[in-house]
Amino acid sequence: MSAVTAPSVSVIRVLGVKDDELLRRLAHAGLSFTIGEARRVAALLGRDPTVVEGNIFNTMWSEHCSYKSSREVLGEYLPTEGTGVVLGPGEDAGIVRLATVNGKSYCIAIAHESHNHPSQVVPNEGAATGIGGIVRDVYCMGADVVGVLDPLRFGDPMGENGERTREIVHGVVEGIWQYANALGVPNLGGDVYFDSSFDENCLVNVVALGLVAEDEIVRSRIPLEAKDSDYDVILVGKPTDPSGFGGATFASRILDEERALDDKYAVQVPDPFLKRMLAVATREVLKLVRDSGAVIGFKDLGAGGIACATSELGAAAGLGVRIDLSRVIVAESNLPAEVIACSETQERYCLVVPRELSPEVLRIYNEVFELPEICHGSGASVIGEVIQEARFVLEYAGATVCDASTEQITTGVCYKRESRGREPVCKEDVLPDGLDPRAVLLDVLGSVNVASREHVYRHYECEVKGCAIVRPGEADAGVIAPIPGAAVGVAVACDGNPFYGAVDSYQAGAVAVAESVRNVAAVGAHPIALTDCLNFGNPEVPEVFHDFVEAVRGIGDAARGIGLKDSGEPIPVISGNVSFYNQSSGGSAILPSPIVCCVGRLVDVSRHVTMGFKSGGNSIYLLGRRSAKLGASAVLRTVAGDATASVPEVDFDDERHMMAAVTDIAESGLAASCHDISDGGVAVAVAEMVLTSPEDSRVGARISVPRLDGSPAALAGETGPSGFAGTRESEAKRDLVLLFSEAGGYLLEVAPDDEDRLLNVLEDRGVWYSRVGTTVAGVGLSFTGIAGGDFTLSVEELARPWTDGATEAMR
């Protein structure tokens, strides 16, 4: 039955071993299997697993690699297909068509992951290898990486663990810039939130997107041509070392302070220099492959290292591989076979190429680009071959140390977790009496979750590659023109307000989609695809699993409900990642944090729109009804210290109509500026439009409280606080709600000559709108007709809290 016979190969005894003894043996072997899983491995193999096999199954069946808790839920709720989708979830990156230029179809490849636990333990290296891992996922599709984004969640910088939190912020930001800047990939956006639930478990999510011609896509599988001819397996990159051994299982359990030192060894060591050399050299290799008419398989090495990458390459094609671990270039001698097979050493790729091409591939890496000389010990070598039988065979020092069917290894396990709803949060979201609207605006602008992120994004390259059109800080989404000489643009943004998660996970998922769509639409782009990274606590806790299911349901419903512009199709979710076990050692989970990235297309990038006001005398329009529900809002957090109250519900129809109208308006060149409404509502949005106007020719605004047809503005939401009308005090509160409501919407600046055409579009698209003010050159921001009293703030008064508000937390 088994080829594993050599007496020198050590095994993990499972068969005939009692439960408590087995548990002890598993712990001794450093495996995180449950007893049931270990017995299942033995049953599948029909014998005791070798130590190497034990480690492989342990990695492949980890939550991180197998999605054993989440797979069914994702499959049930997320729309992943569509006419523009070339490749949905399943391989290293999803691929969606962008545009055809001169007869050539170009696509965007995108991947989205988390690197949360490593960043908590070793912030700099953790965040850096997060970038390193995500760009490999995109490069290995044959794409050139054209941008990265980083949604980050940190603990309370001024709280109990403030000092550690600020160290983590500094380390993470430094890790990102040190890696991505050196690699030469522009940072196109991201966001930063702070909350004490992240004190012991920060979130470092990463998105990478790449450009690839459709006929040059490389798949992460052994080509079917290998059925008829000899194919080699080539490993290229950094010499294999023990770093990151056990990384996938580390990512799949709860962090423990006492094990922090051990965990450090589970974090990989980044090398952006080698990554850049590999990217440039691989470009030459792929050109060689195309010119020779060959088909290859190409996969990055991430979680589970050689074992995971090569077995998945085989399983995807129904073929097998035989790898000789002795042929792997290693950094140190005497590494055990299981370490060579499963370590997560960074900066490595696996190629499956026709044998006659192997010498030339090796020559490009090792001689043309001199990898072994310029990056000590690195290089390319043939480590094995494709075999016809669908088996995964590893040999080491003449002995077979693993012999299993590729399907058994890669199919893995699946769990149906228990799900139980939480007690609903039923706090009344009544604002305190007697608030001064001017002071509230300054406090909200200077609050740590609203203030400018300039301190962070100025660390990041955004213009390398020469494609940048809109940089971080200039608009709601980053915009690039990635195809030289072509007018097509790509917009990208990611979102996920964690405070929604504290109240309603379904809305948290839905609003993450809605806001990322708004951000992309606000620059004038049509959404074409979504990705998600789902960050939650321990899925074995029924309430946490319920949060997860609800968030996925919210994402799915929003993707379908908003949909592609003027099409019946959902916005497809083409890639993503699930990160569980994000919680403190004390057992409290992070705020449920579904984070969504939206990619959009601008047919003509010259029609993009930025958010800074452009000139005085223009009209300012509000799109989208305000809501009386202030749950999750910045204003409630600022004035009441807590915002766990009912949240505004995303209205998918409204969002769809607004997205269509705003992109119509951009394409017709009618918008001088546009900004979506999110944290801090209309008041903060308009302040940001003032603050991002040109520094030498500032444009301010005069704003009145949003109203409709002369009557108090319609407040969406049936269960909001009542009794606004009547007393002066209640009217003042109503006006605050209108100014700070975070219900979805947009602000648009339009020149007087274009106003009629703008209104036609809004009427045609059935969008709720209200003219809320006028731009004024050279002065600050005035609010008039407010029950709580009119007020004016100079640009300097607005700038101070907004510029400084988060700086202290970020250094």
Partner 1 sequence: MMKSRARIAVIRFPGVNCEDETRRAVESRGMDCDIFMWNGSHERLVEYDGYVLPGGFTYQDRVRAGAIAAKDRVVDCLFDEAQAGKPIIGICNGAQILLESGMVPGITPGKVEMGLARNIMPDRDGYYTRWTHLRIESDSSCVTCVMSKGDVTSIPTAHAEGRFVTTTEGLIDRLFDNGQVVMTYAGLKGEAEPAFPYNPNGSTRGIAAVSNPSGNAVAMMPHPERAVRLAQVPESLPGRWGAERRAAAGSRRILTEPGPGGEVFKSLGAFIAERLRGKRGDA
Local structure of residue 365 (DSSP, 8 states): I
Give dist(CA 113, CA 126) in Å, integer. 13
Least Cβ distance, residue 744 to partner 1 (angstroms): 25
Q: Based on CB atoms, which residue is closest to partner 1, 211 or 307?
A: 211
Least Cβ distance, residue 473 to partner 1 (angstroms): 9
Least Cβ distance, residue 94 to partner 1 (angstroms): 25
CB 193 within 8 A of CB 497: yes
Q: Based on CB atoms, which residue is closest to partner 1, 87 or 469?
A: 469
Least Cβ distance, residue 667 to partner 1 (angstroms): 10
- Is residue 64 annotated as part of the catalytic site, yes or no? yes
Give dist(CA 558, CA 659) in Å, integer. 13
Give dist(CA 351, CA 359) in Å, integer. 13
Q: Based on CB atoms, which residue is closest to partner 1, 606 or 760?
A: 606
Give dist(CA 281, CA 648) in Å, integer. 51
Phi and psi at residue 472, in whole multiples of 5°? Answer: -55, 140
Q: Based on CB atoms, which residue is closest to partner 1, 112 or 601?
A: 601
Q: What is the CA radius of gyration of the chain?
A: 27
Chain Cα centroid distance, residue 467: 21
Query: Measuring CA to CA, how many Å separate 687 from each of 336, 445, 739?
Result: 60, 8, 11
DSSP assignment of 189-245, as one string?
A: EEEEEE-GGGTTS-EEEEEEEEEEEGGG--BSS--GGGGTS-EEEEEEESPB-STTT
Q: Based on CB atoms, which residue is closest to partner 1, 562 or 691?
A: 691
Query: Measuring CA to CA, how many Å separate 615 from each of 214, 313, 689, 777?
Result: 42, 56, 11, 6
Q: Report the SS3 class of residue 631.
A: coil
Q: Which residues of this chain interact with partner 1, rule CB under 8 A?
A: 174, 177-178, 181-184, 271-273, 276-277, 280, 368-370, 374-375, 455, 458-466, 468-471, 474, 481, 484, 487, 604-607, 610, 612, 614, 669, 672, 692-697, 807, 811
Three-class SS string for 160-181? CCHHHHHHHHHHHHHHHHHHHH
For the chain, the residue count is: 811
Least Cβ distance, residue 286 to partner 1 (angstroms): 15
DSSP assignment of 541-558, as one string?
A: SHHHHHHHHHHHHHHHHH
Q: Based on CB atoms, which residue is closest to partner 1, 296 or 602?
A: 602
DSSP assignment of 687-747, as one string?
A: HHHHHTS-TTS-EEEEEE--EETTEEPPEE-TTS----SSSHHHHHHHHHHHHH---S-EE
Least Cβ distance, residue 750 to partner 1 (angstroms): 13
Give dist(CA 345, CA 269) in Å, integer. 7
Q: Based on CB atoms, which residue is closest to partner 1, 2 or 697?
A: 697
Q: Based on CB atoms, which residue is closest to partner 1, 462 or 660?
A: 462
Burial of 174 (0-12, 13-18, 19+ CB in 10 A): middle
Least Cβ distance, residue 480 to partner 1 (angstroms): 10
- Is residue 112 annotated as part of the catalytic site, yes or no? no
Three-class SS string for 382-410? EEEEEECCCEEEEEECCEEEEEEEHHHHH
Q: Based on CB atoms, which residue is closest to partner 1, 281 or 620?
A: 281
Give dist(CA 620, CA 770) in Å, integer. 9
Q: Report the SS3 class of residue 249.
A: helix
Least Cβ distance, residue 174 to partner 1 (angstroms): 6
Structure-derived torsion over alpha carbons of residues 462, 464, 469, 471, reported in degrees to the nearest 10: 10
Q: Based on CB atoms, which residue is closest to partner 1, 117 or 607?
A: 607
Q: Which of 64, 112, 608, 657 is catalytic?
A: 64
Q: Based on CB atoms, which residue is closest to partner 1, 369 or 545?
A: 369
- Contacts for 76 with CB less than 8 Å, ≥ 6 apart: none
CB 736 within 8 A of CB 789: no
Least Cβ distance, residue 606 to partner 1 (angstroms): 5
Residue with tokens 């960074």: 346
Give dist(CA 401, CA 54) in Å, integer. 10
Taking the CA atoms of 290, 294, 297 and 299 in sequence, report the sign of the dihedral they define.
negative
Q: Which of 112, 115, 455, 546 is catalytic?
A: 115
Helix (H) or strand (E) holding 674: strand 673-676
Catalytic residue numbers, as ranges: 64, 115
